[in-house]
Homo-oligomer: A and B are copies of this chain.
Amino acid sequence: MSEKRKFELIKKSKQNNARLGKIYTSHGEINTPVFMPVGTQGTVKTLTPEELKGIGVEIILGNVYHLYLRPGDELIKEAGGLHKFMNWQGPILTDSGGYQVFSLAELRKITEEHVEFKSHIDGSSQFLDPEKVIQIQTNLGSDIMMSFDECIPYPCEYDYARQAMERTLRWSGRCKQAYINKNIEEQLLFGITQGGTYKDLRKKSIEGTIEIGFDGYAIGGLSVGEPKDLMFEILNDTMTIFPEDKPRYLMGIGTPVDLWECIELGVDMFDCVMPTRNARNGQVFTSRGKLVIKNAKHKRDFRPLDLECDCYTCRNYTRAYLQHLFNAKEILALKLNTLHNLHFMIQLIFKIRRAIQEDKFLEEKKKFLDKYMNMD
């Protein structure tokens, strides 16, 4: 491991476990807490890199599973890496594919060695293992690589959850070894912890993963169907086990409310397809809660989506126009909604950072939720 600084803890809230930090990558710094838009297939759906930058996005996600299958990580390597291929010059985190194998692929077969599966694109037989996942992420050239994990469903028997967690630990070890062998310090490697909804397994997973040693630690396998309170409980009980001097990444989460709740518990990084996917389904965030653009009441509403928003969409278009575009199945609708929703998430993160900085987290959280949960 290099002694170069990769994470800096800048401030701890006086009110709770919320923190401000900075991650250093070869494509620039990332301030934390951070929300990472998902760019599954080498593009954050509907938006250009310039548009992402324009709304303050600091880092985006790519997916090993998707990019390995199409267009192939070797093609992307030939293109000069994922940054150059997709024209995004900021930091990129790539997910290792564990979750996608679990949620998308067909006919999975998990052994100690690897996972075999059939591609959801063409049905071809494929496999991923820890070494291959590191190789793919090396080819992609992502700034933050994730270790390979086994993601279990909810509910899940204790015994299987334990086996999967232990296998994930062994795979994490193999990922770390493959990473060391490659001598690719310009890329950070994060470990993923598992354990389902069993607190003792979660603790063992975290301790074991820390023992292997990574540049950051992710919490995987949550928000897969378990009650939300149970998720918060697990986070609350386990967050303090993570070392203070490493970033903590809660994978696949979350809603605006989740962000407040989880940052309060000490989470630094988030990703979620929800803001972009909802946008394409015509659901947008506003400071007064969610708004469904198809609703009849917006037909002649010549106000912006959110009166308090200054994004491109809200500065230039009305709810009436956005409903028309959406009903007419116009592609521009999807882009304008996406731009708005991501802007909302990024502005929310900015607001939360300021609240931590000024030790006003609890007051600002209450103010936000009072308005957001009491939509008119």
| Interface size class of chain A, counting residues whose CB lies under 8 Å from the partner chain | 35 or more
Known contacts A43-B325, A325-B42; A71/B320 CB under 8 A: yes
A87 closest partner in B (C-beta): B316
User: A236 near B: Cβ within 8 Å?
Assistant: no
Residue pairs across A and B with Cβ atoms less than 8 A apart, 28 shown, are A41-B325, A41-B330, A42-B321, A42-B325, A43-B325, A43-B332, A45-B330, A45-B332, A46-B335, A47-B332, A48-B312, A66-B328, A70-B327, A71-B299, A71-B320, A71-B323, A71-B324, A75-B299, A78-B300, A78-B302, A79-B302, A80-B302, A85-B318, A85-B320, A87-B316, A87-B321, A331-B331, A331-B334
Chain A positions within 8 Å of B, measured between CB atoms, are 41-43, 45-48, 66, 70-71, 75, 78-80, 85-87, 299-300, 302, 312, 316-318, 320-321, 323-325, 327-328, 330-332, 334-335
Known contacts A79-B318, A87-B317, A299-B71; A335/B331 CB under 8 A: yes
Q: Which among B66, B86, B320, B330 is the interface contact of A43 at CB below 8 angstroms?
A: B330
* Cα-based distance from A41 to B47 in the complex (angstroms): 21
* Cα-based distance from A257 to B85 in the complex (angstroms): 33
Contacts of A46 in B (CB 8 A): 331-332, 335
Contacts of A334 in B (CB 8 A): 331
Q: Nearest Cβ distance between residue A38 and chain B, in whole angstroms?
A: 13
Contacts of A45 in B (CB 8 A): 330-332
**Which of A71, A85, A302 counts the most chain B CB atoms within 10 A?**
A71
Contact call B41/A328, Cβ cutoff below 8 A:
yes
* Cα-based distance from A80 to B321 in the complex (angstroms): 12
A67 closest partner in B (C-beta): B324
* Cα-based distance from A85 to B66 in the complex (angstroms): 39
* Cα-based distance from A43 to B332 in the complex (angstroms): 8
Q: Nearest Cβ distance between residue A320 and chain B, in whole angstroms?
A: 6
Q: What are the 5 closest A-B residue pairs judged by CB atoms, nearest first? A: A71-B324, A87-B316, A41-B328, A46-B331, A43-B332
Contact call B332/A75, Cβ cutoff below 8 A:
no
* Cα-based distance from A66 to B318 in the complex (angstroms): 19
A317 closest partner in B (C-beta): B87
* Cα-based distance from A45 to B79 in the complex (angstroms): 29
Contact call B332/A79, Cβ cutoff below 8 A:
no
* Cα-based distance from A328 to B76 in the complex (angstroms): 15
* Cα-based distance from A321 to B86 in the complex (angstroms): 7
Q: Nearest Cβ distance between residue A115 and chain B, in whole angstroms?
A: 22
